[in-house]
Homo-oligomer: A and B are copies of this chain.
Amino acid sequence: MRQARTKREIRSIVEPWRRQGLKIGFVPTMGYFHEGHLALMKRAAELADRVVVSIFVNPTQFGPNEDLDRYPRALERDLELAEVSGVDLVFLPEARELYPPGFQTWVTVEDLSRGLCGASRPGHFRGVATVVAKLFNIVQPDLAVFGEKDYQQLQVIKRMVIDLDFPVEIVAHPTVREPDGLAMSSRNSYLTASQRKSALCLKEALDQAQALVSRGVTNADEIEAAMKRTIAAYPESRIDYIFIGDPETLEPKDSVSGPVFVALAVFVGDTRLIDNRVISSPEDRAGR
């Protein structure tokens, strides 16, 4: 497994692969790998001839009061895990390599960035779309794998690729979970033992929503109220948002019909966790 710290190095390594007609898979990450990241790398290795992973805690996707400075890092461990997951090349840029003096160009995916995490984290998806556009231009992959855990991010990137005509196939990978159902996240490392138990409230609330939809409940307010009650039962939990709406446009829905996208962000202590699920309604299943 090779490592590169500059754009020039990446291009000098990737260019010969491209000339040989090798298919290049890419997984952009912020490091501190868990099984979710490794699953994306393994998927890329299945689909492509060479796998490139970037590790970059991108400052432009963090708000001024967010956890940029304390975001967890474990580079040596990450490199070992990437190697055994079939990665061929790791890109480890410094911030100044990606954001040179005078930097002033931004990629904005307007409607999809507005609600959900975009409302709680202004500028977050502008930072995500911009750095992913940059990384696509640096690595020039044939495909890139993103996790469904960050579902809104996945939709933003898919839309950016369509709208700006990036010649990159976007592959979605299901959320990888701990045995008890907690979605894997680097931010889970912030949790105390008792908070770790409370963190299950996200998965429980999604189970609750699914059960209600299965029973034929269509009123979004009713589903949201039940989810709120579920979450409130867990200590140290504070809801940031609950969203019920369209899985593609991310527009909210008052009434559930067809597949419905349910997402939520919950602070557990000071740690903000997210999770989501696309739920088929009974009529939706009947119609197939």
Residues of chain A having any CB pair with chain B under 8 Å = 7, 11, 19, 21, 100, 102-112, 129-130, 133-134, 137-138, 140, 159-160, 162-167, 249
Alpha-carbon gap, A160 to B130, bound state (A): 11
Chain B residues closer than 8 Å to A133, beta-carbon distance: 164
- With A21-B19, A100-B162, A162-B100 given, is the CB distance from A167 to B11 under 8 Å? yes
Smallest beta-carbon distance A198→chain B, Å: 36
A106 touches B104 (CB 8 A): no
Q: Known: A133-B164, A164-B134. Contact between A110 and B106, CB under 8 A? A: yes
Contact A105 B159 (CB under 8 A): yes
Set of chain B residues within 8 Å of A140, measured between Cβ atoms: 167
List B contacts of A249 (CB < 8 A): 102
**Contact in complex: B109, A104 (CB < 8 Å):** yes
What distance in Å separates the Cβ of A107 from its nearest Cβ neighbour in chain B? 6
Nearest chain B residue, comparing its CB with the CB of A249: B102
Question: Quick one: closest B residue to A18, CB to CB?
Answer: B18
**Contact residues in B for A108 (Cβ distance below 8 Å):** 105-106, 108
Out of B19, B21, B165, name the residue touching A138 (CB < 8 Å): B165
Q: Interface centre among A11, A111, A162, A165, by most B CB within 10 Å?
A: A165
Set B110, B137, B159, B163: member contacting A164, Cβ < 8 A: B137
A237 to chain B, nearest CB (A): 33
Nearest CB in chain B to that of A140: its residue: B167
Question: Do residues A165 and B104 form an inter-chain contact, with CB atoms below 8 A?
Answer: no
Across the interface, do A107 and B104 meet the contact criterion of CB distance under 8 Å? no
List, in ascending order, chain B residues with CB within 8 A of A7's CB. Answer: 165
Point out the residues of chain B lying under 8 angstroms from A164, CB to CB.
105, 107, 130, 133-134, 137
A104 contact from B19, B112, B138, B166, Cβ within 8 A: B112
Query: Given contacts A19-B21, A21-B19, are A165 and B134 in contact (CB under 8 A)?
Result: yes
B134 touches A104 (CB 8 A): no
Q: How distant is the Cα of A100 from the Cα of B165 in the complex, in angstroms?
A: 11
Instruction: Give the residue of B102, B137, B138 whose beta carbon is less than 8 angstroms from that of A159.
Output: B102
Instruction: Give Cα A7–Cα B166 distance, bound, in whole angstroms.
Output: 11
Known A105-B109, A106-B108, A138-B165; 9 more pairs at CB < 8 Å: A11-B167, A19-B21, A102-B159, A104-B110, A105-B108, A105-B159, A106-B107, A107-B107, A130-B164
